[in-house]
């Protein structure tokens, strides 16, 4: 079971949590299985207070990693059928109950509440009790909106009636609002609608069941072959290789005037041979479409393989390819690997063959793991250079509606999540992407739309400052916090951070006690600031940085008093240490990597 941080303060007690967070992220990137191999289970009530495990006998015990369960009379034959969802394939399964209808006694009811009587129309939380001729027999069910992990069933309440000598007399409903009502005249083997304050049950219309023929489960064969069409093209770094004569060739320069397909191959790889042969046959077609193939050999990167450039050239000629070729080195492989990781969160090591489709201008647009058909390359080639929306559509294997316009992503929240896992480059990238689309000068705060934009952009620059503080780049952090203040001049978190940084910076060119105190005094004018230990701590540090140690001591004593009253021993030791520092006439220095006061 994963553990939450032990404290609410981000910088305390979270080392183990962040390590686990990072390990989890790496496990996802490595493509590791998360299957718990939790098979679905079924237990039979024996009627004596005990349950018997009938999972295998009933068909439940399939080799799946089970998750959700939906219970419903799918075929309307009076018994309950089951839908399962699984973590592993097959993701959805249906188990049909085959009990002969003539051998079962049952009744189903659906409730409809009256909102005027404090019961929702769906009647969630209402309870139904069946009354029998034998008063000792009880059947009781409560209507839930959902019950169990990832599970939600039909709102029809299904009752098995048991032995034939028990006659059904009535159904008593205790509605969610507290009122009770009794319905009589219910016949077995039918579906009834019970409406609050009607007093009479309505028989539901019969519906034709949907027939689902049983089929054998055929799981897809695992394969390393994959086409990855990037939803947003990625600008490639400077790429070059040495041709078979030892001359350096620039792929980046080549890509400035034509599309390029980089293909990595090995002499021992049978699919590589077939692929290069196909590329040669299509070479004139490729060139007419504006694409060049560059085939790079990787044999020599394996310590157990010994091949010279001349040997690689002979192998390529043997495969039938006469186009551009050369030797891949560790640098180009590393750059290509980084390009994959920048676009694909879950990634294994690169296989051979593997190909990279680069659009004119040096934009990586598609990655082909394993052999790729010429027709696939030509199809993707036609889609290059289109709008971001078109690229996004081409990146998915099926049609759909994108939800991001209904639920826009919060770049700051995404950045914070990356930052918690210590993925600082990714944390920065989320913010940069937002600014590329939305950055604008500070607007008029009196206009709601401009005020909202000010808040968004200000929050982005504040998060930039947090990242730079984590990296101990204090000059950049100061610039980011000041930029945030341009958009949100009265935001307490921003005022607190800039004051804290100016008061405690290790960089003497950043530290400025007078400015720190100015910001601190301004923020202390906010309601409740005088009783906030975090803000008071910053004020004390600013007083010390401005050589006002008596004020720093007095403020710190106030912080200690507040913490003692609030029973915060975790913070007391730190403040007592600061008090000793101020009494010695020393200023406070920000610990490396720390972002908060």
Query: For helices 533-545 and 549-565, what crossing angle results, to 10°?
Result: 160
pLDDT of residue 496: 94
Q: What is the pLDDT of residue 7?
A: 52
Helix (H, G, I), strand (E, B) or coil at 124: coil
The list of the chain residues with pLDDT below 70 reads: 1-18, 164, 347-348, 404-408, 567
* Token pair listed for 89: 């394939």
Please state the domain extents for the chain: 43-95, 105-203, 226-394, 413-583
Long-range contacts of 501-505 (CB under 8 A, 24+ apart): 501/465, 501/469, 501/474, 501/477, 501/590, 502/478, 502/542, 502/545, 503/538, 503/541, 503/542, 503/544, 503/545, 503/587, 503/588, 504/541, 504/545, 504/587, 504/588, 504/589, 504/590, 505/474, 505/478, 505/590
Which CATH architecture fits 105-203?
Sandwich (2.60)
Pairing label, strands 168-174, 51-53: unpaired
419-437 residue pLDDT tens: 887 888 888 988 998 898 8
CATH number of 413-583: 1.25.40.10
Q: Which two tokens stand for residue 165?
A: 């000598």
Taking the mean position of all CA atoms in its chain, how far away is CA 356? 26
Q: Look at residues 148, 131, 227 and name the one whose alpha carbon lies nearest to residue 182.
A: 131
How far is 238 from 251, CA to CA, in rounded Å? 8
Q: Which pLDDT score, from 0 to 100, does residue 231 have?
A: 85
pLDDT tens by residue, 494-503? 999 999 999 9
Q: Which two tokens stand for residue 592?
A: 């490396």
Q: How many helices (H) and strands (E) does the chain have?
A: 18, 21
The DSSP H or E segment spanning 42 is none
The separation between CA 539 and the C-alpha centre of its own chain, rounded to angstroms, equals 38
Superfamily classification of domain 226-394: Glutaredoxin (3.40.30.10)
Write the DSSP string, 337-384: HHHHHHH-SS-----SSEEEEEETTTEEEEEEES---HHHHHHHHHTT
Phi-psi domain of 585 (left: phi exceeds 0; alpha: psi -120 through 50; beta: other): left
Cα separation of 184 and 167, whole Å? 12
Listing DSSP states for 504-562 in one string gives H-SSTTT--HHHHHHHHHHHTTSTTGGG-HHHHHHHHHHHHHTT-HHHHHHHHHHHHHH
Please check whether residue 159 is in contact with residue 107, taking contact to mean a CB–CB distance below 8 angstroms.
yes
Helix (H, G, I), strand (E, B) or coil at 192: strand
């Amino acid at each position: 079971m994963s553990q939450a941080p032990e404290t609410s303060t981000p910088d305390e007690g979270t080392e183990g949590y962040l390590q686990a967070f990072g390990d989890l992220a790496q496990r996802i990137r490595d493509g590791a299985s998360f299957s718990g191999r939790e098979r679905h289970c079924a237990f039979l009530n024996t009627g004596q207070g005990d349950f018997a495990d009938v999972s295998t006998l009933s068909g439940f015990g399939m080799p799946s990693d089970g998750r959700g369960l939906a219970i419903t009379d799918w075929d309307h034959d009076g018994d309950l059928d089951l839908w399962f969802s699984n973590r592993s394939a097959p993701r959805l399964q249906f188990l049909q109950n085959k009990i002969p209808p003539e051998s079962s006694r049952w009744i189903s009811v659906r409730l409809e509440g009256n909102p005027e009587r404090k019961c929702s129309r769906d009647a969630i939380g209402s309870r139904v009790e069946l009354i029998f001729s034998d008063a000792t027999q009880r059947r009781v069910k409560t209507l839930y909106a959902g019950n169990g992990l990832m599970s939600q069933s039909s709102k029809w309440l299904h009752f098995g009636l048991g032995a034939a000598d028990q006659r059904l007399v009535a159904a008593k409903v205790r509605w969610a609002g507290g009122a009770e009502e009794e319905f009589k005249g219910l016949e077995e083997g039918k579906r009834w609608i019970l409406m609050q304050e009607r007093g009479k049950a309505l028989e539901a219309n019969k519906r034709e069941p949907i027939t689902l023929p049983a089929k054998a489960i055929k799981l897809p064969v695992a394969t390393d072959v994959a086409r990855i069409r990037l939803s947003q093209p990625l600008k490639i770094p400077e790429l070059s290789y040495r041709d078979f004569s030892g001359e350096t060739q620039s792929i980046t320069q080549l890509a400035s005037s034509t599309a390029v397909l980089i293909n990595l191959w090995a002499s021992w790889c049978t699919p590589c041979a077939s692929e290069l042969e196909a590329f040669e046959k299509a070479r004139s077609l490729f060139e007419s479409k504006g694409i060049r193939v560059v085939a790079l050999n990787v044999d020599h990167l394996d310590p157990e393989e010994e091949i010279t450039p001349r040997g690689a050239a002979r192998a390529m000629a043997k495969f039938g390819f006469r186009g551009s070729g050369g030797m891949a080195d560790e640098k180009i492989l590393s750059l290509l690997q980084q390009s994959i990781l920048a676009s694909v969160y879950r990634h294994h090591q690169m296989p051979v063959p593997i190909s990279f489709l680069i659009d004119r201008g040096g934009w990586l647009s598609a990655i082909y793991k394993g052999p790729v058909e010429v027709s696939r390359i030509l199809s993707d080639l036609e889609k290059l250079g289109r709008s971001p929306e078109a690229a996004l559509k081409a990146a998915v294997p099926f049609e759909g509606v994108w939800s991001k316009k209904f639920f826009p992503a919060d770049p700051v929240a995404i950045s914070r999540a990356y930052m918690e896992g210590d993925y600082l480059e990714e944390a920065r990238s989320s913010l940069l992407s937002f600014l590329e689309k939305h950055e604008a000068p500070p607007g008029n705060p009196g206009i709601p739309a401009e005020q909202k934009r000010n808040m968004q952009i200000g929050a982005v620059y504040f998060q930039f400052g947090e990242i730079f503080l984590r990296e101990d780049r204090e000059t950049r952090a100061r610039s980011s916090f000041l930029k945030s203040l341009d958009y949100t001049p009265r935001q307490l978190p921003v005022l607190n951070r800039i004051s804290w940084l100016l008061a405690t910076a290790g960089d003497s060119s950043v530290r400025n006690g007078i400015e720190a105190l100015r910001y601190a005094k301004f923020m202390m004018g906010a309601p409740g600031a005088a009783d906030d230990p975090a803000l008071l701590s910053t004020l004390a540090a600013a007083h010390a940085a401005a050589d006002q140690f008596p004020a720093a001591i007095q403020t710190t004593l106030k912080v200690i008093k507040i913490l003692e009253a609030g029973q915060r021993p975790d913070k007391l030791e730190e403040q007592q240490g600061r008090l000793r520092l101020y009494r010695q006439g020393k200023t406070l220095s920000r610990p490396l990597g720390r972002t908060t006061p």
